[in-house]
Structure 1
Amino acid sequence: MTPPDPDASLNQPQQPAFVPLRYTPVEPEECLARARRVYKQMDRRRSVRHFSDRPVPREVIEYLIRTAATAPSGAHKQPWTFAAVSDPNLKAEIRRAAEAEERKNYERRLTPEWLAALEPLGVDWYKLYLEVAPWLVVVFQQTTELLASGERRKNYYAPESVGIAVGLFLAALHQAGLAALTYTPSPMRFLSDILKRPPNEKPFLIIPVGYPAEDCRVPDLQRKPLEEVAVFLEG
């Protein structure tokens, strides 16, 4: 009889570890009630450009980022970094760099069609909110995974994964009673330089976070109705 090979187990593929799902069953009626409550609250969400300078505790931002980081991601690579900035000097530096690029955009880079699309929003290259909002959460996409050894490994579906995490972050902060804006200066490589991020991280967007100003006003816009955004294929 051939003796067992002591190294045989080393040649076998390692089985992934599984744990029981933490889940409490919910009856359909309660599901519907919860879905309605979430919709009614989220339907009040608006992008805000006029913030109060009222402080927001760091712990609040920490929990919002924790919530965002529960997002699903390609191969569970979690390819995101949330850089939370409250330092007034850094916020001022970000504003100066953003406005320099935005002024070029509005004066010569943006097409007439693009400018016309922005007109109902009442926006321009002046970005005061980058200093007034108590927090700027700058989201970076990790284009590759950077190991301690310096080796890089591919991240899968990184833009999609980061986008989902941002959506959870926005939903969480609205549930917490705060307001925000998604802002994508172009180009925005300056964010990597100012915040000293590693070369495997690419700026994704800036999210100013805080309380809306008491006199905050938002554009009078309408969301598309359900029948324009959904298709149901039922058996």
Structure 2
Amino acid sequence: MALLSVLTPVLVLVLCLVVGILFLKSRAPETSPRGADQAKEPAKKDFRPWVDQDLHDDTEITTEGGDEDEWVEQDEEKDLAHVPYSPRRYPEEIMLQRSKEFYSLMNQRRSVRFISPEPVPQEIIDNIILTAGTAPSGAHTEPWTFIVVSDLETKHQIRLIVEEEEEVNYRQRMGDKWVHDLARLRTNWIKEYLDVAPYLILVFKRAYGILPNGKKKTHYYNEISVSISCGILLAALQNVGLVTVTTTPLNCGPRLRLLLKRPANEKLLMLLPVGYPAADATVPDLKRKHLEEIMVPI
């Protein structure tokens, strides 16, 4: 008993020390071995935040092989003045009428693979591109380039590249299910319209910007921004009575970028043959979903 009475204060002290150490560990930030951290994460000086992790890939924003000073910081750019904004406001009955008319116009839009070689005035295409350029973009970076090709030889070179890759896609990459699902649309790797259409519009996203001083500028949400501009582009084409078919040629981007002499920061997103529909054009008799199938009021 005497021995126990002597040891009790010591045991209490040890217990207090153990509790204290556990408490301090619970408050300290988690760390991992130095080598493991460095292998998984870039050094702090090389790290640049990306606002859309779902779309991030290692070709978008990287300082590897370059200097951090190559990138412009937000506070280096001038602040924008804000101006009054008062668009025209319509009476509700006119709003309803306009909404119905615009829906009717856009509901006639179809993907058309039979395009007339009939010339289209260049000014019309210019205005359509300007319209696509009104799309919203992350931090107003306007991360798009629209390459408009009317040269016959260049169009043919584009067709050769696309058909070569598309044949591989259909025969090997896509799989039987994809090819089977496309069969009812009567589409294959032959893209005659790439030679026939008076214009080919190739839409490139700019993964980052390059300022006049040579510095790079982050383009946030660049793929979403360019996709929105493509939607407006399709509406502008429909508005003037021109047709197209949206194509995203798999594995053609790098070769087409080199053919068109585009810089490395530009990535092909979409290819659109544009013109009037051919006199004998046909389209699949597809039906669109009803409102209650695509809208959920809450």
**What TM-score do you get using the length of structure 1 for normalisation?**
0.91
Give the alignment partner of residue 122 of structure 1, picking from 186, 189, 206. 186
Identity of aligned residues (%): 45
Cα distance, 1:116 vs structure 2:
1.7
Give the alignment partner of residue 29 of structure 1, picking from 65, 85, 93. 93
Cα distance, 1:121 vs structure 2:
1.1
Aligned residue number for residue 16 of structure 1: 80
More divergent stretch after superposition (104-113 vs 133-142): 104-113
Q: Please tell me whether Structure 1 or Structure 2 has the larger radius of gyration of its CA atoms.
A: 2
- Describe the SS at the equivalent of 2:138: coil
Whole-angstrom CA distance in 1 between matches of 2:200 and 2:78: 42
Q: Give the counterpart letter for 1:28 in structure 2.
A: E
Aligned residue number for residue 6 of structure 1: none
Aligned residue number for residue 181 of structure 1: 245
Cα distance, 1:101 vs structure 2:
0.3
- Describe the SS at the equivalent of 1:75: helix
What does residue range 1-235 of structure 1 map to in structure 2 within 5 Å?
16-188=80-252, 189-233=254-298
Question: After the TM superposition, which segments of 4 or more aligned residues of structure 1 sit over 3 Å from their partners?
Answer: 13-16
Whole-angstrom CA distance in 2 between matches of 1:41 and 1:15: 40
Aligned residue number for residue 19 of structure 2: none
Q: Give the counterpart letter for 1:225 in structure 2.
A: H
Greater RCO (Cα-Cα under 8 Å, separation 6 or more): 1
Q: Give the counterpart letter for 1:204 in structure 2.
A: L
Q: Give the counterpart letter for 1:230 in structure 2.
A: M
Cα distance, 1:16 vs structure 2:
3.2
Which structure shows the higher helix fraction? 2
Cα distance change, pair 182–28 in 1 and its aligned pair in 2 (3 A): same
Unaligned runs of 5+ in 1: 1-10
Cα distance, 1:109 vs structure 2:
1.2
Q: Give the counterpart letter for 1:115 in structure 2.
A: V
Cα RMSD of the aligned pairs, angstroms, is: 1.4
- Describe the SS at the equivalent of 1:204: strand
Whole-angstrom CA distance in 1 between matches of 2:78 and 2:127: 34
Whole-angstrom CA distance in 2 between matches of 1:117 and 1:155: 36
Q: Give the counterpart letter for 2:294 in structure 1.
A: V
Cα distance, 1:162 vs structure 2:
0.3
Cα distance, 1:150 vs structure 2:
2.5
Q: Give the counterpart letter for 1:183 in structure 2.
A: T
**What TM-score do you get using the length of structure 2 for normalisation?**
0.72
Aligned pairs, number: 222
Whole-angstrom CA distance in 2 between matches of 1:154 and 1:103: 36
